Amino acid sequence: MTAPVGDALVHPGLTSAEVAERIARGEVNDVPVRSSRSTTEIVRSNVLTRFNAIIGVLFAVIIVVGPPQDALFGFIIVANTGIGIIQELRAKRTLDNLAVVGEAHPRVRRDGRVQELTNAQIVLGDLVELGSGDRITVDGQVSEADALEIDESLLTGEADPVLKHPGDPVLSGSFVVAGSGAFSTTRVGREAYAAQLAEEASRFTLVASELRSGIDTILRYVTWLLIPTAVGLILSQLYVNQQNVPEAVRRMVAGIVPMVPEGLVLLTSMAFAIGVIRLGRRQCLVQELPAIEGLARVDTVCLDKTGTLTEGGMDVAELRVLKGPAALNELAPTIGDRSDRGDAGETGASDRGAEGRLPEQHGPAEPGLAESVLGVLGSADARPNASLQAIIDTYPPVPGWRLLQSAPFSSARKWSGARLREPDGGEATWLLGAPDVLLPAGHPSLTEVDELGALGLRVLLLGRTTTPLDAADPAQGLVPLALVVLRQRLRPEAAQTLAYFQQQNVSAKVISGDNAVSVGAVADSLGLPGADDPVDARTLPTDPELLADAVERHSVFGRVTPQQKRDLVGALQSRGHHVAMTGDGVNDVLALKDADIGVAMGAGSEATRAVAQIVLLDNSFATLPLVVAEGRRVIGNIERVANLFLVKTVYSVLLALAVIIARVPYPFLPRHSTVLSALTIGIPGFFLALAPNNERARTGFVRRVLRFAVPAGTIAGAASFTAYLLARADHATGQVADTSTTTLTLFLVALWVLAIIARPYTWWRVVLVLAMGLCFALVLVVPWLQTFFQLDLAGWRDPWTGVAVAAAAGLLLELVWRVLRRTGEAGQNGPTRPTRPNR
């Protein structure tokens, strides 16, 4: 746990000439930092798809048989694919720029000086300094160690930190939990132990999400339906139109093209990419794309108090010196002359006896003993945390004290300490940490600690003992000397952010290593429900079921160890909760890794930023509601748009089957399918995919989409084919009139589906639906558009018959929507229970 100070030699590191030699030999850490897919991967994923291949072949066929207006669907696919590539490239640029801002800069010694370098600038043999919270990015061997504790759980699964000594190996992917030191790099670049894992984990990826797997499942079903249906349609159209093969080919293509939900994958990728761009503008780095989906499903947010609800910095509010028994009273004249900080709040005594005897202090009375010790302890830690930094800022080191041994602060221990040689020549161990950990239960000083904690103040105990620092229990025989009272700086936006989560039915749990009473007071001042009943984590049960019960009943937990944070997250997940964890310290790493979504502060430790899926580079807690809202917008709208595309696929397949069975010409040409898809799916789908949306995502994406798309598509297909057969029964009209009537009927039914999907209505959604209807009306009445799309509504009987059939189909659609809304199984944010409109 501890290491002698000054035993290790101070290494100056490589010289500039040695660095140049290694660079020339290629011994550099050349693993690329990839926050996004490469340009080649983006283009390939958008262009080389199975559906693009199908559409491309059909496009080539139409180009051969003509006319060109029947090939419009091919140009739309090209345009959509281009838009998708552009949006993903924009997202890539945003991510790459943010990744540079958030990239860790290891401290490397060269030419006897410490320099901050990027990971790519590290060479073989470099001497890299380590401190608490640092992530190890290359393999090496420890050269210097001062109580250096390394957590290798992300590599080995071993939860306990490993104490490292000079000569011990360190592996990339591990991180420092306590102490400091330095190591020489032995393997860099792709030879490093975790290089492949690190590269893979940092990629901008579309995998491992319910949404993507659900869409893949849907597309697999569509492919199975498409192949036999398309073959049957080809044979039937060649049979029906034996005298006009080009016409048969056009109608065959018109039947196959709408079966392909080509825009679904495109709009999904676009929605994710635009979400990344929007979050990037808020200085939010998305390190894994599925994190956007995960945010939409979050129903519980676990918050670390320090750095999340409070700012990282603190201020010393007061130093309360405690009187001890006779051993301490010998120093009363000296302590009585201390600075004004210790005048107030002197309290009862410790009964530890002579074992905790304090040495008599000689020399001037100023500064006081407590202030002197605090100054020495502050100078003993090369990487102080926020509490110790506040002490360093207040109490400078004083001469006459010698540091012999040190133990940096550890979240698991809840204290830091040092073995000091005091001015009178005696030696003693001094500890600074949590009073309720260092003192036995029922100690009189703990009453005062609880009173201060109830005011939202953080309290540390300074105590002295003769027990060696490296003993099993260094606090044995501890004599308390003083309470260090720290004032925490609340984030101004914290209360508003907690209120947002409450409004959105997202439970907030504060999980902190601080005193439970203090944490509860801070949370209560911010209006967190349940903050008036904080729980000391040391009293929590170890049984998983009992632990899950406790964490669901309470909102504030104090004195939580890093492993307990992990257990609390797991307990919530065991009850079906989708958990987001926020944190900035090394003690949050395990919980961040296990949470469904890990959110790290940009100013937090390298280790937290490495394991988190989302990094708030501006360190603003207020960004979190915006992140959650963006996730909900993306996922809710993708589900909404998926309904549109799959309704089209279902009615297209049914129409093709009906045509095959009835052995009649397919009712549409490709140009008709193009105008129908554009006005009822493509254009409105684009706007709906980008609309605001605040409803929390739910599981069961495929089930909900199919439960609406299948009956709605069946109704649309049946209505259009009925209108087609009725129009064909009127022998006074020709094929163009029959096609026009069927197109009108299907458009009206599809527009009704769009009107259902667009609910709840806002002004712009109403305008969107009406605009699509107006555009189709223009196609029907403008002469050159009539000619271009080959639409001509002859007479009045067939058109009004089509309108009547469409109206009947609309009533059936309303019935389906109401049934599904009542059961809660309709497509989210479309045909489901009403929600507050998003303006």
Residues acting as catalytic residues: 304
Backbone dihedral angles phi then psi of residue 4, each to the nearest 5 degrees: -60, 140
CB atoms closer than 10 angstroms to residue 100: 11
Residue 439 DSSP label: S
Measured between alpha carbons, how far is residue 434 from residues 373, 374, 631, 668 in Å? 17, 15, 39, 77
Measured between alpha carbons, how far is residue 598 from residues 295, 480, 603, 616, 819 in Å? 10, 39, 15, 11, 38
CB atoms closer than 10 angstroms to residue 440: 12
For residues 638 and 215, give the distance between their C-alpha atoms in angstroms, rounded to a whole number: 10
| CA-closest candidate to residue 256, choices 750, 663, 664, 669 | 669
How are beta strands 614-616 and 597-601 bridged, if at all?
parallel
> By CB neighbour count within 10 A (0-12 exposed, 13-18 middle, 19+ buried), where does 147 fall?
buried
Residue 697 DSSP label: P
On whether the CB atoms of residues 408 and 397 are closer than 8 A, the answer is: no
- SS3 label, residue 664: coil
On whether the CB atoms of residues 54 and 261 are closer than 8 A, the answer is: no
CB atoms closer than 10 angstroms to residue 248: 21
Number of residues that make up the chain: 839
| CA-closest candidate to residue 201, choices 565, 602, 632, 598 | 598
- Rounded to a whole number of angstroms, the CA Rg of the chain reads 35
Measured between alpha carbons, how far is residue 502 from residues 283, 505, 507 in Å? 24, 5, 7
How are beta strands 175-187 and 458-465 bridged, if at all?
unpaired
Residue 149: CA count within 13 A, CB half-sphere: 22
Own/partner pairs for 489-492, CB < 8 Å, 24+ apart? 489/310, 489/311, 489/313, 489/314, 489/315, 490/309, 490/310, 490/311, 490/522, 490/525, 490/526, 491/308, 491/309, 491/310, 491/311, 491/620, 491/621, 491/622
For residues 169 and 136, give the distance between their C-alpha atoms in angstroms, rounded to a whole number: 11
Measured between alpha carbons, how far is residue 520 from residues 433, 453, 585 in Å? 19, 9, 20
